[in-house]
Chain A
Amino acid sequence: MGKNNLKICSDLEDIMPPEYRELVASATYGKENRGWKDIGSAKELIEEHSLCAGCPEAIAFRYVLASLPNPEDTVMVGSTGCTSLVFPHVAVHNIHSLFGNQNAVASGLKRALKLRFPDREKDVVVLAGDGATVDIGLDMTLQAWFRQEKFTTICFDNELYANTGGQESGLTQKGFVMKMAPQGKQFNKVRMPEIARESGCAYVAILTVSKPNLVERVLKNAVLIARTIGPTYIQIYTPCILEIGKQSMEGLQEMRDAEGPNDRFAFREFITDEAKAFLADMDEKKKAAAAAKIGTAAPAGVK
């Protein structure tokens, strides 16, 4: 799309909602190297949200949106759950259709965009909860990976069904007493990153959102690798503070407590050799371009 499409007829400017005017004036569509550091100085692609106060899903959403390499040509696919309360406030095209079918929708969408825009990159990014990704939608999650569909799947893992009031999910830890698991969960947290790797993902990462730099790096890797090589998967811990009995300001500490070297959200990355080579090559090109820029920089005042 590019920023040029985002214009307001001057006669109507005064009646446009202020958040839309801000989007036109200072959003980061088309900005090279956009990232989480733009937060605070540019208009974010997410308006105020209606999640619980302090819900880590909110900050995760903001980092993800700030880190998309190409939001002006990105379409997102969501699913029912707490994340679907946020998508209506997101300023990239996004699809909510049903609960759990997100990777099937994304498969059709990506193929349609490839067909209609053969010479342009249109990124597709799925963002859904753990119930959507690992339980009700598991077959479609995996089958999209088996088929090597070229899009990124992000799972906001809060280890339960939050939107329906705190029921056990496949990503709940073993032994936890939850609604519908009155005697505690009887089986282990599903090892989704390993399953993703074995199912054909070219890049897999599991992390929390305690470090925005890391979220940005992982997200960019995932989107760029999905564009060129094959499916990618990111699993992010976004604790449901409401259901685990934490206060609004305790989300960050909860994430830090879950990412020690032996904890379940210790940062891990799987990357295929092909994807590794692709990233190295991209780095190389970037460095060369930067060097060329310095080398040929015209003296001040000369054009």
Chain B
Amino acid sequence: MAGNNNRSIGAVNKKGQKIVEPEYLFFEAPRQEFFMTGSEIVKEAIRRASVDISVAYPITPQSEAAALVGELWTEGYVGDYFRGENEFAVMSQCAGASFGGARVFTTTSGPGTLRAFENFPMWSGARLPILINVMVRGVNSPLNIQPDTLEMAFLLDTGMLIWHAETAQELFDMLLKGFIVAEQPDVHLPIAVCIDGFFVSHTKEMVSLTGTDICLPHYDPYRSPVPCMDMEAPPMRMMRDPFVMKSNYISYATHASWQQEVRGAVERARKYSVRYLGGMIEEENSDADILIVSSGTAVAQGREAVRLLAEEGIKVGIVRIKSIRPFPTEELRQATKNARLIFVPEFNVSGWMAREIKSTIDRNHRVIAGPHVAGGMTMPPEIIAEEIKKVMHLRKKELVHG
């Protein structure tokens, strides 16, 4: 391995952190409770993540986290850090650093995600295991800085892994686990760890953190399935005919088969996501007739609605989706097989999560796309409860005779 430091397990880095096995850090290392915001959690996760390079650009609500990562660079926990000129450039700078064999972390939100967009499928196609923390927010127009998950819909078909954390605690864990899953040789893809802006980034909660004295092993670019661009391996003429020769059958075949391979790699991430996240979904009373199925903080609101409905004697279960790419297809089919009504509350105008679920399970007339709110509107649990009661009433016949 090139470079000057000893990077093996058990070695100590220049900040005095001991490099430990990921499994130890995730599951066994002693933890301590703190009261922190989501942005502060990003700093604490990256402090323990042996990140080589991070590139930043201001946009609410991720600016604070991005700036805190800069402090980590000053403190010596991150190898290099700078402010790029716009998100398109930032994501290309991240790509360059990743091509060069660095572990790369960045953050963005809403309009920044869309400004950067051309980079995301390129990251996947080039097999760059960059971790991006997407703190979702509304996209223009009109201008909006509030939480809204619409941008996640655009990311679905980029070939990236996508996880959705509900809480700051889960954000901490997913940021660390994300690197390890994304960098597996049979995966080696970028990963978006999404959180709902403000709801998670700017509120404080109790979180339990591993000590600052241990950190993840470094990224090893020589475990990549594609060559690292550092001239440490023999270069060779890579193709007889460049891909872009449009009349060349090989170019079609190459593109199509490589894109399939990228999707295959997303599938191969499944086993790691299951192992590290403790399953791709989380179920609470999923044997109930009525289910709320969603991801992120919409589920937190759903949980409150479940409590309200329980007071009226209506039993509702919850299925929370943690990994959106790969999508928990089989898990959802199993978890929803006995449900008669499936509600999908969402913080966006399009109801993309309901669409995803409808295209996954059978008897999809059971799926009710909503309630959904957009642009940062709150979704009080009462609204979810009312929606459930309204639909129950309308479909009473179906529920009785089903």
Query: Chain A nearest CB: distance from B218 CB in Å?
Result: 10
Q: Is the CB of B237 within 8 A of A117?
A: no
Asked whether B92 is an interface residue with its Cβ less than 8 Å from the other chain, the reply is yes
Q: Is the CB of B244 within 8 A of A98?
A: no
Q: Is the CB of A92 within 8 A of B237?
A: no
Q: Is the CB of B231 within 8 A of A73?
A: yes
| Bitwise interface map of B from 297 to 317 toward A, beta carbon under 8 Å scored 1, else 0 | 000000000000000000000
Query: Chain B nearest CB: distance from A91 CB in Å?
Result: 5
Query: Chain B nearest CB: distance from A205 CB in Å?
Result: 24
Q: Is the CB of B101 within 8 A of A116?
A: yes
| Bitwise interface map of B from 218 to 255 toward A, beta carbon under 8 Å scored 1, else 0 | 00000000010111111111110111110000000000
Q: Is the CB of A139 within 8 A of B85?
A: yes
Q: Is the CB of B232 within 8 A of A98?
A: no
Q: Is the CB of A75 within 8 A of B230?
A: yes
In the complex, identify which listed stretch (B76-84, B150-158, B332-340) lies at the interface while the others stay far away: B76-84
Pair count A-B, CB < 8 A: 157
Q: Is the CB of A105 within 8 A of B3?
A: no
CA distance in complex: A198, B125 (Å): 37
Query: Chain B nearest CB: distance from A188 CB in Å?
Result: 25
CA distance in complex: A116, B7 (Å): 12
Asked whether A269 is an interface residue with its Cβ less than 8 Å from the other chain, the reply is no
Question: B121: nearest residue on chain A (CB-CB)?
Answer: A98
- Taking a contact as CB atoms closer than 8 A, the residue among A17, A94, A113, A140 that contacts B89 in the complex is A140
Interface SS of A by simple majority: helix
Q: Given A75-B229, A115-B53, do A107 and B3 touch, yes or no (CB 8 Å)?
A: no
Query: Chain A nearest CB: distance from B259 CB in Å?
Result: 16
Asked whether A89 is an interface residue with its Cβ less than 8 Å from the other chain, the reply is yes
| Bitwise interface map of A from 259 to 286 toward B, beta carbon under 8 Å scored 1, else 0 | 0000000000000000000000000000
Instruction: Tell me which residues from 80 to 126 in chain B have a Cβ below 8 Å from any Cβ of chain A.
Output: 80, 82, 84-86, 88-90, 92-102, 104, 118-119, 122, 126
Contacts of A84 in B (CB 8 A): 242, 244
Question: A120: nearest residue on chain B (CB-CB)?
Answer: B2
Question: A109: nearest residue on chain B (CB-CB)?
Answer: B96
Q: Is the CB of B101 within 8 A of A92?
A: no
CA distance in complex: A7, B94 (Å): 32
Question: B248: nearest residue on chain A (CB-CB)?
Answer: A50
CA distance in complex: A50, B248 (Å): 13
CA distance in complex: A19, B238 (Å): 11
Q: Is the CB of B4 within 8 A of A108?
A: no
Contacts of A73 in B (CB 8 A): 231
Asked whether B44 is an interface residue with its Cβ less than 8 Å from the other chain, the reply is no
Contacts of B101 in A (CB 8 A): 112-113, 116
| Bitwise interface map of A from 130 to 168 toward B, beta carbon under 8 Å scored 1, else 0 | 000000000110010001000000000000000000000
Q: Given A19-B237, A97-B122, do A140 and B85 touch, yes or no (CB 8 Å)?
A: yes
CA distance in complex: A85, B100 (Å): 22
Q: Is the CB of B92 within 8 A of A105?
A: yes
| Bitwise interface map of A from 43 to 60 toward B, beta carbon under 8 Å scored 1, else 0 | 000010010000000000
Contacts of A118 in B (CB 8 A): 3-4
Q: Is the CB of B231 within 8 A of A116?
A: no
Q: Is the CB of B232 within 8 A of A1?
A: yes
Query: Chain B nearest CB: distance from A139 CB in Å?
Result: 6
| Bitwise interface map of B from 1 to 39 toward A, beta carbon under 8 Å scored 1, else 0 | 011100000000000000000000000000000000000
Q: Is the CB of B96 within 8 A of A108?
A: yes
Contacts of B4 in A (CB 8 A): 118-119
Query: Chain A nearest CB: distance from B321 CB in Å?
Result: 31
CA distance in complex: A6, B234 (Å): 6
Q: Is the CB of B231 within 8 A of A104?
A: no
Q: Given A1-B232, A93-B231, A115-B80, do A104 and B89 touch, yes or no (CB 8 Å)?
A: yes
Asked whether A10 is an interface residue with its Cβ less than 8 Å from the other chain, the reply is no
Asked whether A122 is an interface residue with its Cβ less than 8 Å from the other chain, the reply is yes
Contacts of A17 in B (CB 8 A): 237
Question: B79: nearest residue on chain A (CB-CB)?
Answer: A115
Asked whether A212 is an interface residue with its Cβ less than 8 Å from the other chain, the reply is no
Asked whether A5 is an interface residue with its Cβ less than 8 Å from the other chain, the reply is yes
Query: Chain A nearest CB: distance from B333 CB in Å?
Result: 38
Q: Is the CB of A74 within 8 A of B3?
A: no
Query: Chain A nearest CB: distance from B54 CB in Å?
Result: 11
- Taking a contact as CB atoms closer than 8 A, the residue among B85, B96, B232, B243 that contacts A143 in the complex is B85
Asked whether A211 is an interface residue with its Cβ less than 8 Å from the other chain, the reply is no
CA distance in complex: A123, B230 (Å): 10
Contacts of B92 in A (CB 8 A): 97-98, 101, 104-105, 108, 140
Asked whether B384 is an interface residue with its Cβ less than 8 Å from the other chain, the reply is no
CA distance in complex: A94, B238 (Å): 10
Q: Is the CB of B244 within 8 A of A104?
A: no
Q: Given A115-B53, A116-B100, do A109 and B89 touch, yes or no (CB 8 Å)?
A: no
Asked whether A106 is an interface residue with its Cβ less than 8 Å from the other chain, the reply is yes
Contacts of B241 in A (CB 8 A): 50, 88
Contacts of A147 in B (CB 8 A): 82
CA distance in complex: A143, B84 (Å): 8
Q: Is the CB of A104 within 8 A of B242?
A: no
CA distance in complex: A73, B100 (Å): 12
Q: Is the CB of B88 within 8 A of A101?
A: yes
Contacts of A47 in B (CB 8 A): 237
Contacts of B122 in A (CB 8 A): 97-98
CA distance in complex: A47, B235 (Å): 12
Asked whether B55 is an interface residue with its Cβ less than 8 Å from the other chain, the reply is yes
What are 11 A-B residue pairs whose CB atoms fall within 8 Å in the complex? Answer: A1-B232, A5-B232, A47-B237, A73-B231, A84-B242, A91-B236, A98-B92, A108-B53, A112-B101, A113-B100, A143-B89
Knowing that A104-B89, A105-B96 are A-B contacts, what are 5 other residue pairs whose CB atoms are under 8 Å apart, sorted by A's residue number?
A73-B231, A75-B100, A108-B53, A113-B230, A117-B3
Interface residues of A (CB under 8 A from B): 1, 5-6, 17, 19-20, 23, 47, 50, 72-75, 77, 84-85, 87-95, 97-98, 101, 104-119, 122, 139-140, 143, 147
Interface residues of B (CB under 8 A from A): 2-4, 52-53, 55, 79-80, 82, 84-86, 88-90, 92-102, 104, 118-119, 122, 126, 227, 229-239, 241-245
